């Protein structure tokens, strides 16, 4: 098995701002796993929020030393080895996990959703993200997103109400809100969510900083729409303690380390009666198409990272009016753009 890694710079169509900061480009690492004439593709989109960088990804991939394995069908042994190398490093682990799943799908001639026995008609609609911006630009973005029936609005700054009011001048479609830990007290979070409920907001993601679990549980009791954990949940090990704090979890391949762990998280959360959101970082169609393979198991999809970039090196999962369309292509179903 030969693993190669290629850093790429994904350019944002527009500057992308959330409560934590702003960016116009996002670094990503495309990996290729070659064996027996078949190439599986994976991707790492390292997030500084979780202590990763392109350098940390490349270093992890070098250390992983997959050359000692001689068959990607031994995915269990390989991923156990990768997982045990070091804690964290979710996106580097995800890159290997995705490439291995893609390789196996290609070897078997099956898309992953079909290999797993999922119903592609059950794939949900993905939300389209509206980053923080001036009210005028927000209005333009909402108009540009007219094909998407659900918007995910980034809040968590002063001026939250102005953003929502401006969006409501343009559309009455379903809104989801992501505060990205941006509200600083439980009272502020409660008051904002009570107001957001009246504006037709369907759910709120990560209202408070991840260390404020008791405060988040208090907020959840005071409001009626679902509260979803994002920064509070990385892998399946985090889920049980969130059962009485959040209504659901946002699973991202780049946090948890790939499709295998994401599947484990889905099963764990379902057992606890929690809702599943499948989310993403800013990613190319490689990681988005991988996550989309699991989407028939999700209550909510937020798989739009590829839609926000101008130079996607791959073509993969498509959507129509927001609904994810899983294809018959083997593996994760991507082809490189010429």
Classify residue 224 by its DSSP letter: S
Nearer to Mg ion, 49 or 323 (CB): 49
Give me the least distance between CB of 57 and Mg ion, in Å please: 21
Kindly report the number of other CB atoms within 10 A of residue 3's CB atom.
22
Q: How far is CA 160 from each of CA 18, 138, 183, rounded to the nearest angstrom?
A: 12, 12, 10
Give me the least distance between CB of 178 and Mg ion, in Å please: 4
Give me the least distance between CB of 212 and Mg ion, in Å please: 16
Give me the least distance between CB of 205 and Mg ion, in Å please: 5
With vertex at residue 72, the alpha carbon angle to CA 318 and CA 75, rounded to the nearest 5 degrees, is 85
DSSP 81-143: HHHHH-S--HHHHHHHHHHHHHHHHHHHT-BHHHHTT--GGG--BBPEEE-S--HHHHHHHHH
Report residue 157: phi and psi, to 5°: -135, 170
Number of alpha carbons in the 13 Å side-chain half-sphere of residue 54: 11
Give me the least distance between CB of 230 and Mg ion, in Å please: 4
Nearer to Mg ion, 58 or 280 (CB): 280
Nearer to Mg ion, 178 or 312 (CB): 178
Nearer to Mg ion, 230 or 319 (CB): 230
Residue of minimal Cβ distance to Mg ion? 230
Binding residues (CB under 5 A) for Mg ion: these are 178, 205, 230
Give me the least distance between CB of 254 and Mg ion, in Å please: 12
Q: Please, what is the angle between helix 90-108 and helix 54-64, to 10°?
A: 60
Nearer to Mg ion, 40 or 131 (CB): 131
Pairing of strands 300-301, 275-278: parallel
The Cα–Cα gap between 228 and 246 comes to 6
Nearer to Mg ion, 205 or 283 (CB): 205
């Amino acid at each position: 098995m030969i693993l190669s890694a290629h850093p790429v710079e994904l350019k944002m169509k527009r500057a992308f701002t959330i409560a934590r900061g702003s960016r116009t480009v996002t670094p990503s690492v495309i990996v290729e796993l070659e064996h027996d004439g078949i190439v599986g593709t994976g991707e790492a989109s390292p997030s500084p929020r979780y202590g990763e960088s392109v350098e940390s990804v490349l270093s992890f991939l070098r250390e992983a030393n997959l050359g000692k394995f001689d068959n990607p069908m031994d995915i269990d042994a390989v991923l156990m080895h990768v997982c045990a190398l070091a804690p964290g490093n979710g996106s580097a682990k995800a890159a290997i996990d995705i490439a291995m799943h893609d390789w196996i799908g290609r070897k078997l001639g099956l898309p992953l959703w079909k290999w797993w026995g999922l119903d592609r008609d059950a794939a949900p609609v993905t939300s389209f993200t509206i980053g923080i911006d001036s009210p005028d630009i927000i209005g333009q973005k909402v108009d540009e997103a007219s094909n998407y029936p659900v918007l995910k609005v980034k809040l968590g700054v002063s001026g939250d109400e102005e953003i929502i009011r401006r969006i409501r001048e343009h559309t009455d479609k379903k809104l989801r809100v992501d505060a990205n830990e941006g509200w600083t007290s439980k009272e502020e979070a409660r008051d904002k969510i009570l107001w957001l409920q009246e504006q037709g907001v369907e759910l709120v993601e990560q209202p408070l900083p991840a260390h404020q679990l008791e405060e988040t549980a208090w907020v959840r009791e005071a409001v009626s729409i679902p509260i979803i954990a994002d920064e509070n949940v990385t892998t399946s090990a985090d889920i049980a303690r969130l059962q009485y704090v959040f209504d659901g979890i946002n699973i991202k391949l780049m946090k948890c380390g790939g499709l295998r762990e994401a599947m484990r998280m889905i099963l764990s959360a379902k057992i606890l009666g929690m809702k599943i959101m499948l989310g993403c970082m800013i990613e190319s169609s490689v990681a988005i198409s991988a996550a989309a393979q699991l989407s028939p198991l999700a209550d909510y999809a937020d798989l739009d990272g590829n839609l926000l970039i101008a130079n996607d090196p791959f073509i993969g999962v498509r959507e129509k009016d927001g609904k994810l369309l899983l294809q018959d292509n083997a593996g994760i179903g991507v082809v490189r753009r010429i």
